[in-house]
Amino acid sequence: MLWACLALPELPLEAAFRDVDGDAPRLVYTEAAQRLLVAQADIGARSAGVCAGQSVGAARALLPALLARPRQPDVELALQQNLSAWAYGFSSLVVCLPPQNALPAALALEVGGSLRLFGGWPRLCGLLHAGLQALEHAHALAAAPTLAGARILASGEGDGPMVLDTAQLRHTLARLPLDAAGLDARRESALRAMGLRRLGELFALPRPELARRLGPDLLLWLDRLRGQAPEAYEPYRSPTRFRQRIAFDYGIDNHMALQFALRRLCRELTAFVSARAGGVQHFALVFEHEERAPSRIEIGLRQALSDSEALFDAARGRLEQATLPAPVVGLGLHADELPPLAPERRDLFDPEPRGDLDLPSLIERLRARLGDDAVCTLHSYPDHRPERAWRIAEGKPPTIP
């Protein structure tokens, strides 16, 4: 087996600031003993001296323009699940890995059977990078014969190596420092007190003494890490519906201010349905309000689409024609009906060039701009008179008696 691991080091920041555009420094915090402590800061805040474990007040003293929000584990999990659905388009075996000690959240894909399909590791690596960049997620990538080994190699600074066999993996892991292994704080502290600094030194310790001092489960972890014991993991199963939301700090009362969040949600929906080799024909925008029940805009398409710009244009057109009943504090996108996408049938030797905008996307943009009744479908009709051999109709063409 060959595991490709995509580490997501800034997922807490990305989950908390999904509705914010721009380069302002930002951080997420957690509450501990009635104190607000920095959980993670972006590179702009870190360059000013902000670090994890610091109080939010001290961070603001260093950087008054800092944006600070609480960490949102539920949103992080939802984003990671959505990325798992996207990764399902590259492998039938995907594992969603939550944060563990010092290791960030990650996705693991078994790509041993996908390399030839995608043209080798360099091309597959490029596709994975391009997909996550389009979804605006910071990431690092590495590959190894074991899931645990790939995760550790991907959790450093920048991309890790591609390791093809277990012997090379053991040699690569042996050079890593202990703090890069994802050990819990108690065990890492005990190993450092014993004078150990690298994983190779841990590998060389006598197994009975190591199990007696730090527990037999550490030996099992070491064996799985080096490919000497089978790994236990729960494979990801793609859901049958899509539901994502973005919350706002204050009520938004005009559609222009909602379009940044709407575009992000449409990109996430496109990644979800594309991995299923399908499309979406009906979805809804759900607007959350403070003092009243949520409102909805239903969006129906003439056929299933999987293009983010076409979906965004269709949703934006309906949004611009609607009146918001109250300021919006949260925007959700729900797609409960996900039919498979019917690819366009084309001649293998068709020399005709194709533009960037296909006919279904053009039709949906016109419907969004001009209204549903302004764009009609022409169907042929069984009549010998040319002027009567067509009809304006909805849905499927009439059957010939």
Convert the pLDDT of each residue in 296-323 to its tens digit: 999 888 778 888 888 898 899 889 888 8
DSSP assignments along 305-348, one per residue: E--HHHHHHHHHHHHHHS--SS-EEEEEEEEEE-PBP-PPP--T
73 membership: H or E segment, kind and range: helix 73-87
Sheet holding 295-305, edge to edge: 242-252, 328-337, 280-288, 295-305
**Is beta strand 242-252 parallel, antiparallel or unpaired with respect to 328-337?**
antiparallel
Q: What's the rounded Cα separation, in Å, for the pair 111 and 116?
A: 10
User: Nearest-CA neighbor of 19 among 244, 243, 249, 242?
Assistant: 249
**Which helix or strand (DSSP H or E) is residue 82 part of?**
helix 73-87
**Residue 74 CB partners (closer than 8 Å, separation 6+):** none
How high is the pLDDT of residue 321? 86
For residue 32, the cross-strand partners are: 35
pLDDT at 158: 82
Q: How confident is the model at residue 370 (pLDDT cuts 50, 70, 90)?
A: low
With a cut of 80, say whether residue 173 has pLDDT above it. yes
Look at the block and give the residue holding tokens 């934006």: 316
Tell me how far apart the alpha carbons of residues 58 and 36 are, in angstroms, rounded to a whole number: 10
Helix (H) or strand (E) holding 368: helix 359-370
Tell me the C-alpha distance between 202 and 289, whole Å: 55
Q: How many CB atoms are located within 10 Å of the residue 194 CB?
A: 13
Q: Is the pLDDT of residue 118 over 80?
A: yes
pLDDT reported for residue 286:
94
Model-level pTM?
Answer: 0.76
Query: Which one has a higher pLDDT value, 112 or 368?
Result: 112
Nearest CA among 53, 140, 132 for reference residue 103: 140
Confidence label for 348 from pLDDT (cuts 50, 70 and 90): low
Give the pLDDT score at 322: 87
Mean pLDDT of all residues in 203-223: 90
Please give the pLDDT value at position 333. 93
| pLDDT band at residue 156 under the 50/70/90 scheme | confident
Per-residue pLDDT, 66: 92
Which whole number is the average pLDDT over 55-61?
A: 93
- Cα–Cα distance for residue pair 301/281, rounded to 1 Å: 5
What is d(CA 85, CA 76) in angstroms, rounded to the nearest whole number? 14
> Token match 């009809």: residue?
391
**Dist. CA 40–CA 44, nearest whole Å:** 12
Instruction: Provide, rounded to the nearest whole percent, the portion of the chain with pLDDT above 70.
Output: 88
CB 258 within 8 A of CB 319: yes
Q: Which residue has the higher pLDDT, 374 or 157?
A: 157
324 phi and psi angles, rounded to 5 deg? -75, 125
Instruction: Give the pLDDT of residue 395.
Output: 46
Q: What span, in angstroms and rounded, lies between the C-alpha atoms of 344 and 231?
A: 42
